[in-house]
Amino acid sequence: MTYPATEGLRVLFVSNLFPDLTEPVRGLDNATLLHHLSPHASIRVLSPRPVFPPRSRRELRPRDEDVPFAPVYVPTPYLPKVGDRWNSGWMAQTLERSFTQIIQEHRPDVVLTSWLFPDGCAMARLCSRHGLPLILITQGTDTHQYLKIPTRRRKILQAMEAASFVICRSGDLARRLREAGALLGKLEVIYNGVDTEVFFPAPVIERTEMLSNRNRGPLLLFVGNYLPVKNPKFLLKAVALLKEQRKKEGKPLARLCLIGDGPLREPLEQFVQSSGLDDTVEIHGCMGPEEIASRMRAADILCLSSENEGFPNVILEAMACGLPVVSTDVGGIHERINEMPNSKLVPPNNLAAYVEALEEVLDQEETNTSTSSPPEMGWSHCAGEYLRVLEAARSSTPV
């Protein structure tokens, strides 16, 4: 990867989505990005932590690997639902002291902010006051859902007008912002990266062994949060229907492994027991990247059943492992799914179509023989794209 010239580039990253020791996977993709930017830029982190009711929180500490960014965690008042008129202003006011101190110490050339509201709106106010160029990052819900809320929409459009660029993690997010009124020249589509040293296809010998054991039943895999928007109960219903169909046809029964965490975990476990899926479904908590990658190399299909998405990184990780995907056609998923052989998209909440897609993929012979991930999927390529935009903001020249 050839990186743009970024001599002496100093960046301040601001977002509530950044890890600490109590929440080590919070905003993990943001932290990973910063670590790949850090050889080419000097980086500091300011992380607001919205809380309600307004109160002080115990001091948060960074993960060991994030200590070089000297992150400052600041509790900021946040009033859910009815506080849209004030939340971004409160955040700006609460952050101003820490923001000013970091500016004096670090003298950033550019402020990079992930999450449009209230984070991005607060930073638009502070950056304008201090004469600093701002780059916003939209991740998904902050575009999908917040543009539907008039007050948030107005504030987000104002923040984007003040920003130098808006980085969108899928083309679908860029389309939505453009239709909402964002200037086309400010929108940059940059997909997240994948750690290709962890996520890679199974070696040929290992893949052959897995295929020879397939008579024990194909393995379906879900990786994500157990949240309503991810619709994991739909996936359980699909597997129950698939089980009945394959039993009638005399085919090996498919198994499903779910990895993640969230408020729906207990209801999902209850549904598994009440539906007689105990021998078919395993529900696990969060796992590290290495274990997830190992499960992907052992699986036959990655399954997503979301009702809404930006562009989930788990799809890129599956692609890097050579794992076919069956997913609902939401958000920006369609933008890259055609790069993976045997993958299928179906309309959301269409149970019959989803089961049919699973059957079609399971009945196909494996066609992917790749033993390495494309270099453009790696975090190095992603970091290079960010550096290009950061440098353009610093120099105030077109990208």
Identify the three-state secondary structure at position 321: helix
Integer CA distances (angstroms), 146 to 102, 128, 157, 191, in order: 29, 23, 11, 21
**In contact, 215 and 252? CB cutoff 8 Å:** yes
On whether the CB atoms of residues 171 and 336 are closer than 8 A, the answer is no
Q: In which element (H, E) is residue 351 found?
A: helix 351-363
Query: Range with the lowest mean pLDDT among 80-84, 151-155, 200-204?
Result: 200-204
pLDDT in tens, 158-183: 999 999 999 999 999 999 999 999 98
Q: What does the alpha-carbon distance between residue 290 and residue 307 come to, in Å, rounded to a whole number?
A: 28
SS3 assignment, position 166:
strand
pLDDT digits (tens, 9 = 90+) for 332-344: 999 988 888 889 9
pLDDT of residue 373: 57
All structural domains of the chain, each given as residue ranges with its CATH number in brackets, are 10-193+378-395 (3.40.50.2000), 204-375 (3.40.50.2000)
State the distance between the two ends of the chain, measured CA to CA, in whole angstroms: 18
Q: How many CA atoms lie within 13 A of 384 on its CB side?
A: 11
* 398, pLDDT greater than 50: no
> Taking residues 367-392, what's their average pLDDT?
79
- If pLDDT is split at 50, 70 and 90, which confidence band does 368 have? very low
Contact 44, 69 (CB under 8 A): yes
- Alpha carbon distances (Å) from 108 to 127, 169, 195, 312: 11, 24, 28, 30
Yes or no: say if 354 and 305 are a contact pair by the CB < 8 Å rule. Answer: yes
For the stretch 205-231, pLDDT in tens is 455 445 444 556 899 999 999 999 999
pLDDT, average across residues 273-297: 94
- Tokens 């509530």 correspond to 16
* Alpha-carbon gap, residue 357 to 363, rounded angstroms: 10
Q: What share of the chain is helix, strand, coil (3-state, %, to 5)?
A: 45, 15, 40
Reported as type and span, the H/E element at residue 123 is helix 121-130
Could you tell me how far CA 72 lies from the centroid of its own chain? 23
Distance CA 13, CA 68 (A): 13
Give the whole-angstrom CA distance, residue 297 versus residue 161: 44
Closest C-alpha to 115, from 188, 184, 48: 48
**Tens digit of pLDDT for each residue in 87-99?**
999 999 999 999 9
Looking up tokens 């050339």 gives 109
The 3-state secondary structure of 172-210 reads HHHHHHHHHCCCHHHEEECCCCECCCCCCCCCHHHHHHH
pLDDT at 205: 42
Which of 343 and 204 is assigned the larger pLDDT? Answer: 343
How many whole angstroms separate alpha carbon 369 and alpha carbon 372? 9
**Which tens digits make up the pLDDT trace of 97-138?**
999 999 999 999 999 999 999 999 999 999 999 999 999 999
Q: What is the pTM of this model?
A: 0.85
Structure tokens at 393: 């903001």
Amino acid residing at 241:
L
Most distant CA pair in the chain, distance: 71
Say yes or no to pLDDT of 71 above 90.
Answer: yes
